[in-house]
């Protein structure tokens, strides 16, 4: 309207940050950190100790956070893109993890669920599980993209059927991988003191960053998410792009599933990655991304995922009943929704403006007195 002739308002660093969506997860992170600092600073203690194989490993709550937050952060990558492009969420990621994990163990164990040695190299099993997970992603994606079904409804199908499919893959058995090298991926590589899942997550972040940096995926996904018709008129194929995001999420699912099954060297398809879809969606929301699609900030989602794990670990530390965890997460969601409401933001902006005005006033006064 009227602002086009006005120079952009002066922005202080803080005000700039406020406007950036990454402000939300950072604020949450700071809040939790301050709480922990006051309640018990030992939360931040990290020690170097030897594990049962005699290798040095780092211990401490923070290590736990970056370790256990990995799967969630990886899923958040895919969920962010899916949300941005299709304006909806995939609620089948937990079930899809059960499937891809089952496939992986099925390949590794062969027909004998108690096989003493691995029947196939880990990389082969991993690649096969990737392909399967991406196929299921493509299934979800094509329902959404070509049949124009609401994402939540479309993925409800796999959400319902996924764990049964996972059970079927291993004939209702719970296979166990006995080879210790398989467990390195969910725990520690001998001699490396930092948990492997964190490395895997970092690799995923870098790969995703590169994907967004060296292709135009980010622009396309946002365009399609914001205005499908315009995107089409600018030569994009919105259906294909939506499908791609679901396939990408499938890949994320496979990686997260790999870490999950490696942690315990086995899989319980009925409870593995239970309710993780809700956490992944929450991570996206906590990252300040609109769940109705459009613009996204990947870094913000990743941070959101770690904040959720941070919260979980904090609650475990204070021995909050695990039953009550969802209630605490609900509180976070409520705060989030309120914080991102336009009314509150406007009030906040007014407040900072006033503060800044006061500051400038006093500065001016000081300058005058000097």
Partner 1 sequence: MREKSLLEMRGIYKSFPGVKALQNVDFTLCEGEIHALMGENGAGKSTLIKVLTGVHVKDEGDIFLKGHDKAVQIRSPKDAQKLGISTVYQEITLCPNLSVAENIFIGRGDGHMVNWRSMNKKADELLESLGINVKGSQQLASCSIAVQQMVAIARAVDMDCQVLILDEPTSSLDESEVAKLFVLMRKLKARGVGIIFVTHFLDQVYEVCDKITVLRDGKLVGEYEIENLPRVELVSKMLGKELDDMASIKSDTSDSGVDMNSEPVYEGKGLCSTEGISPFDFNIRRGEINGFTGLLGSGRSECVRTIFGADKVTGGTVKMEGTEVKINKPIDAMKHGIAYLPEDRKRDGIIGDLSVKDNIKLALQVKTGFFKPFSNAKANEFANEYIKLLDIKTASVNTPIKSLSGGNQQKVILARWLLTHPKYLILDEPTRGIDVGTKVDIQKLMLKLASEGMCVTFISSETDEMLRTCSRLLVMRDRKLVGELTGDQLTQKTIMDTIAGGDKNGTE
Partner 2 sequence: MKLKKLLAMSISMAMCAAVFAGCGSSGDNGGKSNGGGKSGGDLIKVGIINNDPNESGYRTANDKDLKEAFSKENGYDASFAYSLKNDEQIQAANKFIQDEVDYLLLSAADTAGWDTVLKDAQAAGVKVILFDRTIDADESLYEASIVSDMAKEGQTAVDWLKGQNLSEYKIIHLQGVMGSAAQKGRSQALTDTAAAEGWTIVNEQTAEWNAEKAQQIVQSVIDSGESFNVIYAENDDMAKGAVAALDKANISHGVGKDVVVMGFDCNKWALEELLNQNWNYDGQCNPFQSSYIKDIIDKLEAGETISQKTIIMDEKGFDASTITQEDVDNYGI
| Stretch (H or E) spanning 84 | helix 61-86
Binding site for partner 2 (CB under 8 A): 42, 49-52, 57, 59-61, 63-64, 68, 114, 143, 146-149, 153-154, 157, 160-161, 163-164, 167, 172-174, 176, 187-188, 260, 263-264, 266, 268-274, 312-313, 316-317, 319, 321-323
- Asked if 294 is part of the footprint of partner 1 (rule: CB under 8 A), the reply reads yes
> What is the contact mask toward partner 1 in residues 57 to 96, using x (rule: CB under 8 A)?
----------------------------------------
Q: Residue 29 class from Cβ within 10 Å (0-12 exposed, 13-18 middle, 19+ buried)? A: middle
- Asked if 214 is part of the footprint of partner 1 (rule: CB under 8 A), the reply reads yes
Half-sphere exposure of 51 (CA within 13 A, CB side): 16
Nearest to 76 by CA among 340, 271, 285, 363: 285
CA dist 290 to 25, 222, 279, Å? 14, 11, 15
Q: What share of the chain is helix, strand, coil (3-state, %, to 5)?
A: 70, 5, 25
Within positions 240 to 259, which residues make up the interface with partner 1, using CB under 8 A? none
CA dist 132 to 152, 159, 244, 283, Å? 21, 16, 15, 25
Closer to partner 2 at the Cβ: 22 or 55?
Answer: 55
Residue 49 bridge partners (DSSP): 57
- Asked if 7 is part of the footprint of partner 1 (rule: CB under 8 A), the reply reads yes
Cα–Cα distance measured from residue 88 to residue 77, given in angstroms and rounded to the nearest whole number: 14
Judged by CB under 8 A, which stretch of 41-49, 177-185, 230-238, 302-310 contacts partner 1?
230-238
The structure tokens 């913000």 sit at 300
Least distance between partner 2 and beta carbon 82 (Å): 18
- Asked if 231 is part of the footprint of partner 1 (rule: CB under 8 A), the reply reads yes
Judged by CB under 8 A, which stretch of 125-133, 226-234, 254-262, 275-283 contacts partner 1?
226-234
Q: Which residues bind partner 1 (CB under 8 A)?
A: 1-9, 213-217, 219-220, 222-223, 226-227, 229-237, 294-295, 349, 353
């Amino acid at each position: 309207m009227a602002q086009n002739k006005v120079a952009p308002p002066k922005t202080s660093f803080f005000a700039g940050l406020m406007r950036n969506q990454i402000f939300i997860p950072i604020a949450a992170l700071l809040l939790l950190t301050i709480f922990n600092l006051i309640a018990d600073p030992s939360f931040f203690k990290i020690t170097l100790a030897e594990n049962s194989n005699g290798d040095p490993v780092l211990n401490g709550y923070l290590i736990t956070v970056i370790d256990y937050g990995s799967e969630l952060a990886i899923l958040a990558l895919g969920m962010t893109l899916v949300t941005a492009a299709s304006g909806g969420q995939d609620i089948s990621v937990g079930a899809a993890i059960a499937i891809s994990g089952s496939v992986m163990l099925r390949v590794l164990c062969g027909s004998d669920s108690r096989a003493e040695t691995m029947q196939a190299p880990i990389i082969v099993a991993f690649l096969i599980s990737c392909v399967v997970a991406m196929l299921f992603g493509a299934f979800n994606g094509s329902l959404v993209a070509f049949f124009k079904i609401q994402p939540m409804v479309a993925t409800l199908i796999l959400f319902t059927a996924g764990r049964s499919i996972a059970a079927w893959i291993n004939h209702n058995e719970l296979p166990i991988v006995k080879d210790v090298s398989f467990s390195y991926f969910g725990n520690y590589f001998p001699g490396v003191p930092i948990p492997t899942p964190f490395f895997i997550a970092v690799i995923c972040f870098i790969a995703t960053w590169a994907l967004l940096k060296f292709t135009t995926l980010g622009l396309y996904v946002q365009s399609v998410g914001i205005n499908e018709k315009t995107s089409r008129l600018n030569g994009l194929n919105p259906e294909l792009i939506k499908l791609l995001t679901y396939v990408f999420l499938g890949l994320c699912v496979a990686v997260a599933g790999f870490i999950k099954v490696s942690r315990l060297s086995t899989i319980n398809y009925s409870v593995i990655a239970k309710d993780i879809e809700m956490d992944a969606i929450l991570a996206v929301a906590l990252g300040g991304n609109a769940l109705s699609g459009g613009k996204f900030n990947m870094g913000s989602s990743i941070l959101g995922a770690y904040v959720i794990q941070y919260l979980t670990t904090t609650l475990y530390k204070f021995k909050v009943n695990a039953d009550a965890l969802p209630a605490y997460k609900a509180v976070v969601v409520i705060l989030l929704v309120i914080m991102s409401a336009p009314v509150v933001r406007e009030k906040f902006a007014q407040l900072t403006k006033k503060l800044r005005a006061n500051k400038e006033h006093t500065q001016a006064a000081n300058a005058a007195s000097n």
